[in-house]
Amino acid sequence: MRTLMISGASRGIGRAIARKALADGHRLSLGLRDLNSLKGSVLDPEVAGKHRVMLHSYFAEDSLGAQSWVDATVDYFGSFDSLICSAGIFSRVSVLFSQGEEEEIERTMKINLMAPWILARAAWPQLVHHGSGRIQMLVSLSGKESKGKLAAYSASKFALLGLCQTMRNEGWNDGIRVTAICPGWVNTDMAHSVLAEPSEFWPTQSLKPEEMTQPEDIADISSALLKLDNRAVPFEVSVNSSLGW
């Protein structure tokens, strides 16, 4: 059994990962913008059991919130050994951004890159102490190949993948294993919002929801990664539901 900190667990991929981790017997500390978003669900501590799940307010834009969440998790469970960063935002800002869009670029970088960086930094001592700590970062295939004109989003994800590589280097001798999970189209609200507005910024797609990778598929991958011995944890997992994604 592991004790996991998971961001972005209120919906989509993060929520699916949390549900699967709970079913696997792990203890969960979930960082959420809205603490009521899981009320009545299987991830509600009143349903799952307060000894299994704790909820804590976490806003990715708040650089001080990471340490507060880490401290609260240690106080509640005594320790933790794994961090899964699923929170992120999408942006359509292109290379030729309009005046005033600088703020969106900065926010995209802050949430998609700096927030998981700051959270991992805060969690690092616990991961080192465990001796077999795990970090899973939800990146994207947009962090490996830029398609269309989504400059801000792709830049944030390319940077996150580079950060993951360096985290892997720095944590290796302390037993920390880092995996960058890079999915293409996943059946989430974010994907639907992109596909609902085809434009010059993104190639036209015709994927149906059932043809996309499902959040539960990513959860199964996350689950399998947590079961692997340190000698067998892959750094990168690319997940593609179509030939050209």
Which residues are part of the catalytic machinery?
Answer: 153
Distance between CA atoms of 113 and 108, rounded to whole angstroms? 8
- Structural tokens at position 47: 């349903």
Question: Three-state DSSP class for 134?
Answer: strand
Distance between CA atoms of 53 and 113, rounded to whole angstroms? 26
Question: Three-state DSSP class for 155?
Answer: helix
Distance between CA atoms of 130 and 128, rounded to whole angstroms? 5
What are the two backbone dihedrals, phi and then psi, of residue 200, each rounded to the nearest 5 degrees?
-65, -15
